[in-house]
Amino acid sequence: MTERVATTPGLFPLPDPAKQQLSDLKGHQKGDLISGSESEQIASSYETYRADVIDEQLAAGLDRIVEGQLRWDDMLAHPLAVHENVETGGIVRYYDNNNFYRDPQVTDELTFSGDVASELEAATEILEDRDADAGLQATLPGPYSLFDLATDEHYGDDAAFLDAIGDFLAGEVDAFPEHETLFLLEPSLVENPPADGEDARASEAIDTVAAATDADVVVHTYFGALEEKVYAHLMDADVSALGFDIVAGDRDQTLYNISEYGTKDSAALGISDGQNTLVESPETLDERVTWVDAKLPTQEFDRLYLSTNTEPFYLPVNKHEAKLSAIAEAADIETEEVTA
Amino acid sequence: MSRPADNREQFRPRDHETDHFLLTTVVGSYPKPKWLNRVNDLADDEESKFTHEHLEEAHDDACRVITREHERAGLDTVVDGEMRRNEMVEFFAERIDGYEFNGPVKVWGHNYFDKPSVTEPVTYDEPWLVDEFEFTSNVAEKPVKVPITGPYTLANWAFNEAYDTEEELAYDLADLVNIEIERLVEAGAKYIQIDEPALATTPDDHAIVGACLDRIVENIDEDVRIGLHVCYGDYSRIYPEINDYPIDEFDVELCNDGYEQIDVFADPEFVPDLALGVVDVHTAEVESVEEIKANIRQGLRIVPPERLTVSPDCGVKLLPREVAYEKMQNMVTAAREIEAELDAGEIDLDEPVPLAD
């Protein structure tokens, strides 16, 4: 029987009171965004809201709990944007969205940072305090996406830069507290697919990161389907699951990839639209899971991670909360039917 | 096909001193007077005695001030500075049935936007802009231009819960914009500008924008001038396709990057009139008259003087108010000097114009 795990890719919308409070504390300009050395007052504000979003996930009944990544002003570029050897340049468009982040320009060696590890330490404390059953899920940009979002002004060639980012992320993961799952978000594999040679290197970089943890590693892709060749190379990565966007883009291409090249024993399915306020019912979400299963008669999954397709920061808070509950309920549907 | 763009002469001031006429205008938004921001806060405060009527009066006052400020700067066509509008999508979504608001979403950093959701088919109820047009027309001595957020942007910058595709939503919105323009024309409007900034972010949808424009101009008299404003994009991805749009004027921001993209419009021949951004709205440094004249010359590489309109790159609302005013003033002076030099035969239109460094 397939186990269904209700989770999220992380990168939550800031709670509404936090939007105003942090904007007042930090300011509106690009120089005011998170730098990794924020004041005690700002840090304490984030602590409050981190606890709030963890409590929300517990209340919704999710099986994996993320820290929320509320500090990630630059979205997936965050781990570099706060690095001491990275300068943040102009504001650039975040994929094909009406969202922008600061261009992280790597000017020196990508040494260990520990920024994400300290967020996860704080999340662990909250989960222990709440005596939660659900496990911690870490979230990071996948190495190829972080490479794609950044500008190299130090390593000199793409191959060396991608490898350096893989090594950097592995070093960060190594410092993480105990976590059950690690989601590596790789939208760039879809949006700006790697060229010949680079596709193999992208998978090797994922291997480097995955090898730094004992947790289940999920490489989640979204904003559409992967090109066939990119998928074939991604299958070489030694990870527990690959994640697919079941909402946006070409689902037939995704099914074709899985049929032709197989997939891991587990998979992540982005079944709820992270970029639309329409809240899908648990039954609709369940139908999407069942649809994928039915289209892949030769594939048996040990576990399916169910989540929004994209990061959910695009959503207003009320709709995001409703979607979390619906995902948690959808994950329980199968179990209920079996036990009934 | 482009509309016959011979409707610009109606905007030539009666006392215009030169034979040549470069139509001067603005894109729309203007810095709000400081007191208006305070008043908006008061209106949001439930405990304040400030009423909706008070707010309307404040908006009227602000529109009057800014319209006259535009006239003092010497512009040939004026706008009320969009004093009544908070944000270019929110303002219209509040007036169109079918939209709802769920709360702010992130644009970047701590900048948010109350991105609305379309939850049922969009319909037209009360006019959106007729009252503000009539008010501004009564205040203004110059013709009033009306900027309207375009249907593609109204669709693209909202969550679509109700339509199978964003394209269908955009077409329904285009029909509503057409109704609104009919109402505005009945009220006397002669110059409409459709703002489609979303086209710059998803240029592959240029055909959808074109089909929207076909709906927008349906049954609109050709003496009504229809402009399209687009900003901050890679124009090679929408040119020459925009030559087929049913518009009189294409208004584009090019000053911001030093006219690096101007050559995009040189070949094939540019069909509509060109409304060229000749001052940068993202720098508080006021361009000199000489600099702006050089920028206007860039436009003359693409269209002859009788088809050139000059305006700032985009809405100027983020600039300090005195900077915005000085930029407009210098822009008008530059246009008038170019006109005089053209009359005197001092400008050779065939002479190459180098790009500024």
Q: Out of A94, A278, A316, whose CB is closest to B105?
A: A316
| pLDDT > 70 in chain B, percent | 98
Asked if the model's pLDDT at residue A59 lies above 50, the reply is: yes
Answer yes or no: do A277 and B111 touch at CB < 8 A.
no
In a mutational test of the A interface, the residue from B87, B100, B102, B108 whose CB has the highest number of chain A CBs within 10 Å is B108
Structural element, H or E, at residue B62: helix B52-72
Asked if the model's pLDDT at residue B1 lies above 60, the reply is: no
Answer yes or no: do B109 and A32 touch at CB < 8 A.
yes
> What are φ and ψ of residue A123, in 5° steps?
-65, -40
The shortest C-alpha distance from B102 to chain A (Å) reads 6
Mean per-residue pLDDT of chain B: 94
Which tokens is A304 given? 């399916």
Q: Out of A98, A277, A319, whose CB is closest to B201?
A: A98
Q: How many CA atoms lie within 13 A of A131 on its CB side?
A: 0
In a mutational test of the B interface, the residue from A20, A98, A101, A280 whose CB has the highest number of chain B CBs within 10 Å is A98
What confidence category does residue A339 fall into, taking pLDDT thresholds of 50, 70 and 90?
Answer: very low
Alpha-carbon separation of residue A197 from A82, A144, A159, A193, A225 (angstroms): 30, 13, 9, 11, 20
Show Cβ contacts of residue A78 under 8 Å, excluding neighbours closer than 6 positions.
Answer: A34, A69, A71, A72, A115, A141
Asked if the model's pLDDT at residue A33 lies above 50, the reply is: yes
pLDDT tens readout for residues A147-167: 999 999 999 999 999 999 999
Average pLDDT over residues A314-324: 98
What domain range includes position A133?
A: 3-339
| pLDDT > 90 in chain A, percent | 89
The CA distance from B142 to B99, in Å, is 35
CB of A26 within 8 Å of a chain B CB? The answer is yes
Which tokens is B222 given? 């050709």
| pLDDT > 90 in chain B, percent | 85
- CATH of residue A131: 3.20.20.210
Asked if the model's pLDDT at residue A336 lies above 60, the reply is: no
Answer yes or no: do A28 and B109 touch at CB < 8 A.
yes
Q: What is the pLDDT of residue A334?
A: 65
CB of A73 within 8 Å of a chain B CB? The answer is yes
Asked if the model's pLDDT at residue A121 lies above 70, the reply is: yes
Answer yes or no: do B159 and A26 touch at CB < 8 A.
no
CB of A112 within 8 Å of a chain B CB? The answer is no
For residue B268, cis peptide bond before it (omega within 30 degrees of 0)? yes
Answer yes or no: do A19 and B110 touch at CB < 8 A.
yes
The CA distance from A129 to A127, in Å, is 5
Q: What is the pLDDT of residue A98?
A: 85
Is the residue at B357 inside a domain? no
Q: Which residues of B117-155 are buried (b: 16+ CB within 10 A; e: fewer)?
A: bbbeebebeebbbbebbbbbbebbebbbbbbbbbbbbbb
The CA distance from B332 to A221, in Å, is 52
DSSP B94-155: TTSEEEEE---EEEETTEEE--EEEEEEEE--S-SSHHHHHHHHHH-SSPBEEEEE-HHHHH
Nearest to A147 by CA among A132, A169, A173, A129: A169
Average pLDDT over residues A59-74: 97
What confidence category does residue A290 fall into, taking pLDDT thresholds of 50, 70 and 90?
Answer: very high
Torsion of the alpha carbons at A119, A122, A126 and A127, rounded to the nearest 10: 60
The total domain count for chain A is 1
The shortest C-alpha distance from B302 to chain A (Å) reads 30
CB of A23 within 8 Å of a chain B CB? The answer is yes
Nearest to B213 by CA among B250, B256, B178: B178
| pLDDT > 70 in chain A, percent | 98
Average pLDDT over residues B325-350: 96
Residue type, B199: L
- Interface pTM, i.e. ipTM: 0.91
Q: What is the pLDDT of residue B202?
A: 87
* Alpha helices (H) in chain A, listed in sequence order: 16-26, 40-60, 78-81, 115-129, 143-149, 158-174, 188-191, 198-210, 228-234, 251-261, 282-295, 317-339
| Residue A64: strand pairing partners | A135
- CATH of residue B153: 3.20.20.210
The total domain count for chain B is 1
Kindly report the pTM of this predicted structure.
0.90
Nearest to B217 by CA among B192, B244, B188: B192
Residues of B with CB under 8 A from a CB of A: 102-112, 115, 117, 156-157, 159-161, 198, 201-202
What confidence category does residue A338 fall into, taking pLDDT thresholds of 50, 70 and 90?
Answer: very low
What domain range includes position B154?
A: 9-343
The CA distance from B31 to B37, in Å, is 10
Most distant CA pair in chain A, distance: 61
The CA distance from B295 to B301, in Å, is 10
For residue B4, cis peptide bond before it (omega within 30 degrees of 0)? no
Which tokens is A26 given? 């930090």
Q: What is the pLDDT of residue B355?
A: 66
SS (H, E, C) A280-296: CCHHHHHHHHHHHHHHC
| Residue B19: strand pairing partners | none
Strand duo B225-230 + A100-106: pairing: unpaired
The CA distance from A181 to A62, in Å, is 13
Asked if the model's pLDDT at residue A340 lies above 50, the reply is: no
CB of A16 within 8 Å of a chain B CB? The answer is yes
The CA distance from A90 to A101, in Å, is 8
Cβ atoms of residues A269 and A9 within 8 Å: no
Asked if the model's pLDDT at residue A269 lies above 50, the reply is: yes
Answer yes or no: do A93 and B117 touch at CB < 8 A.
no
Cβ atoms of residues B288 and B248 within 8 Å: no
Q: What is the pLDDT of residue A36?
A: 86
Asked if the model's pLDDT at residue A87 lies above 90, the reply is: yes
The shortest C-alpha distance from B159 to chain A (Å) reads 5
Is the residue at B355 inside a domain? no
DSSP A202-242: HHHHHHHHHTT-SSEEEEE--SSPPPHHHHHHHTTS--SEE
Burial class (CB in 10 A: 0-12, 13-18, 19+), B78: buried
pLDDT tens readout for residues B187-245: 999 999 999 999 988 899 999 999 999 999 999 999 999 999 998 888 999 999 999 99
Structural element, H or E, at residue B309: strand B308-312
Residue of B nearest to A91 (CA): B108
Residue type, A121: E
Number of other CB atoms surrounding residue A151 within 10 Å: 16
Is the residue at B173 inside a domain? yes
Which tokens is A210 given? 């995955």
Cβ atoms of residues B290 and B297 within 8 Å: no
Show Cβ contacts of residue A69 under 8 Å, excluding neighbours closer than 6 positions.
Answer: A10, A11, A12, A78, A119, A139
**Tokens 């074709």 sit on residue:** A256
The CA distance from B99 to A326, in Å, is 23
Q: In this predicted model, which residue has the larger pLDDT, B1 or A124? A: A124
Burial class (CB in 10 A: 0-12, 13-18, 19+), B266: exposed
The CA distance from A257 to A243, in Å, is 12
The CA distance from A28 to B296, in Å, is 34
Q: What is the pLDDT of residue B48?
A: 87
Asked if the model's pLDDT at residue B2 lies above 70, the reply is: no
Which tokens is B352 given? 């190459």
pLDDT tens readout for residues B252-283: 999 988 999 999 999 999 999 999 999 999 88
Show Cβ contacts of residue B38 under 8 Å, excluding neighbours closer than 6 positions.
Answer: none
